[in-house]
Amino acid sequence: MSLRDGPLNELRPPLAWLAVAALVLAGIVSLALFVNDHRGSPLDDIRGRFDSVAGVAGGVMSAPVHWVADGAAAVGAYVDAGGQNRRLRTQLAQARRLEAEVEALREENGRLRAILGVKTDPPLPMVGARTVLDARGPFADTRLADVGSDQGVIEGNPALNDNGLVGRVIAVSRQVSRIMLLTDIESRIPVLIARTNGRAILTGDGGPAPRLDYLRTHDPVRPGDRILTSGDGGVIPRGLPVGVAVQAKDGWRVALDTDAGSIDLLRILLFKDFSQLVGANALQPGVLPPTTTDAPAPAPPATQPAAPSGAAPASKAK
């Protein structure tokens, strides 16, 4: 197929007319510029008319240029909006991470204030600790805390969080101590029922709710009874919160207060003996009364003289 018979053959007349119009318009603009260079001549009126025509023609010719420029600006703004959107998404993700960190710090700060607010009556020295290792297994439930003998911790010291008793220290090194939780299968803690003052042994069996064994109480246990440490044995002071009694199929168990929160932040009571509670002098035995009296000593019992050998014993009077 020849170029003359091609599809562009129909566009040739419009293109020709457009070229002629552009040539005429260029001539008019050139003539206007030529006339405009001769200022002060009698042709000022003609020059003004040519300026008007040239202004209109220039506006018509510059319109496509403005359209292209506006389109390019719009495309640039669209592309820049995509970049801004990506930057805003990144900033939003960073802000959300910061918000989560701030919320976590706020929660930890509140727990620290609660733990620091733990008081005993009478006051006992305490040391703050953080659990650094979870040694949980089928037959053991212990934690490692980042305090030890250098901070005054000894074996048997009770450990509490902001809700109640967690367990007691069973091993100590200089900077680390091992805490046996109340749920450990080897845990045995003497407790009392606050309502009746009855005694029991809180026995861990690896489950979440330790058992109440060896109950000694005149009034039956009721669901919801508060369970506190009894202080029996002198290892743990009396009155530390433990939990509430709940009825189970195999008997009474205790829903621990510590289940309401985490146990990564602790307070260890530096409890040694009851002399810290009442004073060493109060534990000394009182002065006993003397064992001697002013009454005369009783006379020794009378003895009969021995009978001579071979003599028959005297017969009783009839």
pLDDT in tens, 214-253: 998 888 899 999 999 998 888 888 889 999 999 999 899 9
Which pLDDT value is given to residue 105?
Answer: 64
d(CA 281, CA 294) in angstroms, rounded, equals 32
243-283: pLDDT as tens digits: 999 999 989 999 999 888 778 889 898 887 655 555 545 44
* Backbone φ/ψ region at 208: left (φ over 0), alpha (ψ -120 to 50), beta: alpha
What is the helix (H) or strand (E) element at residue 213, kind and residue range? strand 211-216
Query: At 297, is the secondary structure helix, strand, or coil?
Result: coil
Report the pLDDT value the prediction gives residue 106, as an integer from 0 to 100: 65
Pairing of strands 241-248, 251-256: antiparallel
Whether 289 shows a pLDDT value over 80: the answer reads no
Instruction: Say what percent of the chain tops pLDDT 70.
Output: 58
What rounded mean pLDDT belongs to the chain? 75
Rounded to the nearest 10 degrees, how much is the dihedral formed by the CA atoms of 268, 271, 276, 280? -160
Q: Which range has highest mean pLDDT (11-20, 42-51, 110-119, 135-144)?
A: 135-144
Q: Tell me, what amino acid is at 250?
A: D
What pLDDT shows up at residue 66?
A: 64
Question: Which residue bears the tokens 């496509």?
Answer: 64
- The more confidently predicted of residues 209 and 63 is 209
Percentage of the chain with pLDDT > 90? 29
